[in-house]
Chains A and B, each alone.
Chain A
Amino acid sequence: MRSITKFLAATLVAGLTAAAQASDLDVSDWTKIEKAAADQTVYFNAWGGSENINAYLEWVGGEMQRRYNVKVTQVKLDDTASAVSKVVAEKAAGKNEGGSVDLIWINGENFASMKRQGLLLTPGWASSLPNWNYVDVENQPTTLTDFTEATDGLESPWGGAKMVFFYDGARTDKAGLPDNAAQLLEWAKRNPGRFSYPAPPDFIGSSFLKQVLSEVIDDRAKLLEPVAEVNFERNVEPLFAYLDELHKVAWRSGKAFPLNYPDMKQKLGDGELDIIFAFNPAEASSAIAAGELPDTVRSFTFSSGTLGNTHFVAIPYNANAREGALLVANFLISPEAQLRKQNPQYWGDPTVLSMTKLPDADRGAFQALDLGVATLTPDKLGPVISEPHASWMERIETEWRRRYASGN
């Protein structure tokens, strides 16, 4: 028994010596990477809660196998943080090579946390990817700054996101739809029990809080800096005043909240909710195609702007198939993969590529895409409000829990 205790202690101590090892990887030598990647298996850790995304990743796997002889296996997560946890556990156990996670679908808090803990492959590699030339860094600043955290090339953009709202035109009058957070509250008062948001720390739920905060805070610039403790209470006071009002007229009177976006989608379909929102403008069209929502569902957004961000893929410092993961990351931003991803038939996720940088044929293909009846075209999506610094999300979530989820 004692020797086993010793062993346990040893494995914990091993973490002490864990440090990012000197990388012998030259990202600019692409031929070498392609050669080294052959026959590797890339374990792509990605949220697995959506069948169409899983199917898209299967297509990616097939293409990678065919083109580069790289096998891609999706490790389906119910929460991205569990992939982060795996890397942490490995670092704790001193496993600095041959880790079990090769590629993670990531952004925001999780990225900031991994970057801070030194859990990512260094030095930055994203801008060395051959397909980086097509990325729209000029018009989509969020491809370089993830929730105010500089990406430093430690993650490669994969898709765009913009908050949009959905309603069922057969049930809800288009004329009365809100155009900003304040009008949304008025709308909820006129239609009690028909609006809600997922309980934080769900990503979409927290985003709703940030959207409201961005609209009601006295100076939006404050959100781009880390939270200042001294003024925190006063800065978020308008947000919680808003929520206090909203909960009185929300679904289940604010005593329960939807679990996440798909749960809200189901509730829109069931008629429990009348206005829901998502981060993917094509969500409603995909859901109509899948028979989950009636074809009378339409989208709208706020003319004064809604939150927008980018989601990425990153490679852990101890990834086993680094070269394979780089190849996959590069393929994910190829015009072909991005085109298929933006097609609502497969997924409908907005591209991170710049139309002006693309070859003519590819640009034409993008412009010819049928985005679906319920999807707003890119020019109708409205202005982008930048994501607040990641520290805001943490503090608001805690404050939300303290106020609404302490069981008092």
Chain B
Amino acid sequence: MTRIQPNSLKGSRAVAVYARSATLLTVALLTLPLTLGLLGTILPALGYLPALGGHEFGLDQFEALLVVPGLKASVLLSLVSGFAATAISVAVTALFLAAFAGTRVLSRLQHALSPLLAIPHAAAAFGLAFLIAPSGYLIRLAAPFAGIDRPPDLLILHDPLGISMTAGLVLKEMPFLFLVSLAAFPQVDIPASRQLAASLGYGRIAGFLFLLWPGIYRQIRFAVYAVLAYSSSVVDVALILGPNLPGTLATRLLEWMNDPDLSARFLASAGAIVQLGVTATALLSWYAVERIGGAMLAALRDRGHRFRNDRTLRIAAASAVIITCATVFSGIAILFLWSVAGSWQFPYLLPQELTLRTWQNALPRIVTLLVTTLTAGAISTLIALLLTIGCLERETETGQSGGQNALLLLYLPLMVPQITFLFGLQLLFIGSGTSHRFAALILVHLVFVLPYVFLSLSDAWRQFDRRYDVLAVAIGRSRLSALLAIRLPMLTRAILTAFAVGFAVSVGQYLPTVLIGEGRLQTITTEAVALASGGNRRVIGVYALLQTLLPFIAFAFASLVPALLYRNRRAMQV
């Protein structure tokens, strides 16, 4: 049956065309908006923005920036806190995996950590704030024993060194790196390496770090870069937890963009270029740390240190992860309490009265928000899935995965701070005179959704046993039908998970939605941040919970549907 039938030929050609165009479109999506947006930021930074009377190119804006009070402090703060958050997240992830990879502890915690990904940064930060503030839950718990009847005058939130902000970032970035690392596990042989290290007398942590970590780190390093870029330019977490005298560079950029004195726009654009430099510096320093760390690890390995007694370190790593989970979950629980609280004064542990008033006030208003959030999320993620599947199919066809370069391309939109190119993009969008605002919103969401969907689906796709494809072709089926009837159904679980990840990313987008939606397209997240400026804990509770709930539903859907679909197929169950 080697004769190719006309129908199958057509199907194969259709797949080839689809795959090639998807690849081209993906590359365009990952590079064009970024390049154009940056251009739209660079021109005003150099003094060119005719509408505001800037007609000549020059470096005046950067000179003006140099004399802005506290600029050095802001730059340093962004750099140090972003770097520290990344370093702590990587270190805890590495130590924890080293201590527990291949054990039951790990698989249990994996279930606890995955939902953390769905919680938006702002919600996690609010949860932390409600927990550790002087009027927060921890001090309320201690109050009866310490004899406190009023909140102590302690500088915990907005501390000048940015410690609580760094902690808030670690809460979200550590679980992310943890799950990315887990995805890299299939590339390394854990049980064999474990046995080898143990038989030579190495401690668990040392054995893992010497034998397995370098291989895993190679897989996750772009994710680490993305974390570093994000942490050094974050806005919402910095506003909720970070110092404000002065704030981080990114928060000050936003302040200048919002300054009533419109000439501050030039300053903001120049500041955005400095932000780009800050993030680049952070990345370069990290690269140096990678080198030094690698050399140190190699030196320790070559000297034959075995570090057999690593029990304390193992316990410390486990505690760090458990505290992270506990903090985020209790933060969410307190958010919920505030959302149903009437009067709730210090130092009461529970609200003095419970009421549904806040929810009742909010619910009629969230219907349109939900519609926008859901449609933008669903459409952008579906397009991302179509493009990703096309790219991966192209990979299968050519047998080339693009390697590190392709991976770099994917991470590009995540490694350039959003704030540096979105303003330029907004100017372009308005300039194009188009009225297709919703389409533009989906496009800009797609830029950030696509990388996550791709990264989430690609491993499963590449691990798929190609012999199924061969078999299908051998019995005379076209590539199209092999794709539709065999590969996609067997990969349903991975595809739905990728969908949930993409959807969660779309729901969490704040800056792109505000700038491109121009305030007319409002989502749960933009509403949450607008209301957060009012500081009402009850309302923040409601919206932060809603913000968390949506991705949760998507993840639940992704794990329930395959269970139903595969209920008669034992080999497909987990």
Is B153 close to A, CB under 8 A? yes
**Contact A110:B260 (CB < 8 A) given known A86-B519, A408-B73:** yes
A252–B151 contact, CB under 8 A?
no
A387 CB, min distance to chain B CBs, angstroms:
15
CA distance A382 to B293 in the complex (A): 67
A113–B244 contact, CB under 8 A?
no
A256–B155 contact, CB under 8 A?
yes
B343 contact from A266, A291, A408, Cβ within 8 A: A291
CA distance A292 to B344 in the complex (A): 8
A8–B346 contact, CB under 8 A?
no
CA distance A406 to B246 in the complex (A): 6
Which segment, of A90-98, A226-234, A326-334, faces chain B? A90-98
Is B430 close to A, CB under 8 A? yes
B533 contact from A5, A84, A260, Cβ within 8 A: A260
A11–B244 contact, CB under 8 A?
no
Is B11 close to A, CB under 8 A? no
Q: Which residues of A contact B159 (CB under 8 A)?
A: 256
Which segment, of B35-43, B104-112, B477-485, faces chain A? B35-43
Q: Which residues of B contact A130 (CB under 8 A)?
A: none
CA distance A266 to B432 in the complex (A): 44
A177 CB, min distance to chain B CBs, angstroms:
19
**Contact A78:B529 (CB < 8 A) given known A93-B430, A294-B343:** yes
- Write out, one digit per residue, whether chain A residues 46-83 have a CB within 8 A of any chain B CB (1) or not (0): 01111100110010000000000000010111111111
- Write out, one digit per residue, whether chain B residues 251-275 have a CB within 8 A of any chain A CB (1) or not (0): 0000101111110010000000000
B52–A405 contact, CB under 8 A?
no
CA distance A177 to B91 in the complex (A): 53
A109–B73 contact, CB under 8 A?
no
CA distance A24 to B472 in the complex (A): 70
A407–B534 contact, CB under 8 A?
no
Is A13 close to B, CB under 8 A? yes
Q: Which residues of B contact A150 (CB under 8 A)?
A: none
A77–B534 contact, CB under 8 A?
no
CA distance A109 to B259 in the complex (A): 9
B88 CB, min distance to chain A CBs, angstroms:
22
B122 CB, min distance to chain A CBs, angstroms:
12
Looking at A16, A92, A253, which has the most chain B CB atoms within 10 Å of its CB? Answer: A92
The 10 A-B residue pairs with the shortest CB-CB distance, nearest first, are A407-B73, A11-B431, A49-B534, A15-B51, A92-B51, A406-B70, A262-B535, A193-B153, A93-B431, A270-B135
Interface residues of B in 489-539 (CB under 8 A from A): 514, 518-520, 522, 527, 529-539
Q: Which residues of A contact B9 (CB under 8 A)?
A: none
**Contact A77:B530 (CB < 8 A) given known A91-B51, A252-B153, A256-B244:** yes
Q: Which residues of A contact B246 (CB under 8 A)?
A: 401, 405-407
List B residues at the A interface (Cβ < 8 Å).
32, 36, 39-40, 43, 48-52, 55, 69-70, 72-74, 76-77, 134-135, 150-151, 153-155, 157-160, 243-246, 255, 257-262, 265, 342-343, 345-346, 353, 355, 357, 361-362, 365, 426-428, 430-433, 514, 518-520, 522, 527, 529-539
Q: How many residues of A contact B (CB 8 A)?
A: 82
List A residues at the B interface (Cβ < 8 Å).
4-5, 7-8, 10-16, 18, 43, 45, 47-51, 54-55, 58, 73, 75-86, 88-95, 100, 109-110, 112-113, 117, 192-193, 199, 201, 251-253, 255-257, 259-260, 262-263, 265-267, 269-272, 291-292, 294, 394, 398, 401-402, 404-408
Q: Which residues of B contact A404 (CB under 8 A)?
A: 245
A81–B345 contact, CB under 8 A?
no
B345 contact from A257, A271, A406, Cβ within 8 A: A271
Q: Which residues of A contact B134 (CB under 8 A)?
A: 272
CA distance A48 to B518 in the complex (A): 14
* Binding site secondary structure of chain A: helix
Given contacts A84-B260, A394-B261, 7 further A-B contacts (CB under 8 A): A11-B430, A79-B258, A82-B519, A117-B262, A398-B69, A405-B70, A406-B69
B434 CB, min distance to chain A CBs, angstroms:
11
A266 contact from B72, B427, B535, Cβ within 8 A: B535
B98 CB, min distance to chain A CBs, angstroms:
38
B343–A113 contact, CB under 8 A?
no
Instruction: Sample 17 A-B pairs with CB under 8 A, ordered by A number.
Output: A7-B432, A11-B431, A48-B530, A49-B531, A49-B535, A51-B534, A78-B533, A88-B51, A92-B431, A109-B261, A199-B245, A256-B244, A262-B534, A269-B345, A270-B345, A270-B346, A406-B246
A81 CB, min distance to chain B CBs, angstroms:
4
Q: Which residues of A contact B518 (CB under 8 A)?
A: 86, 100
A401–B69 contact, CB under 8 A?
yes
A45 contact from B36, B150, B255, B519, Cβ within 8 A: B519
B430–A401 contact, CB under 8 A?
no
B50–A113 contact, CB under 8 A?
no
Please name the residue on chain B nearest to A251 by beta carbon.
B153
A255–B50 contact, CB under 8 A?
no
B346–A407 contact, CB under 8 A?
no
CA distance A292 to B261 in the complex (A): 35
A256–B157 contact, CB under 8 A?
yes
Q: Which residues of B contact A54 (CB under 8 A)?
A: 365
A407–B51 contact, CB under 8 A?
no
B285 CB, min distance to chain A CBs, angstroms:
20
Q: Which residues of A contact B51 (CB under 8 A)?
A: 12, 15-16, 18, 88, 91-93
Q: Which residues of B contact A4 (CB under 8 A)?
A: 32, 36
**Contact A13:B50 (CB < 8 A) given known A84-B262, A199-B244:** yes
A407 contact from B160, B259, B345, Cβ within 8 A: B160
A11–B427 contact, CB under 8 A?
yes
A12–B533 contact, CB under 8 A?
no
Please name the residue on chain A nearest to B342 by beta carbon.
A291
A255–B36 contact, CB under 8 A?
no
Please name the residue on chain A nearest to B239 by beta carbon.
A259
Q: Which residues of B contact A271 (CB under 8 A)?
A: 135, 150-151, 345-346
Q: Which residues of A contact B539 (CB under 8 A)?
A: 51
A5–B39 contact, CB under 8 A?
yes
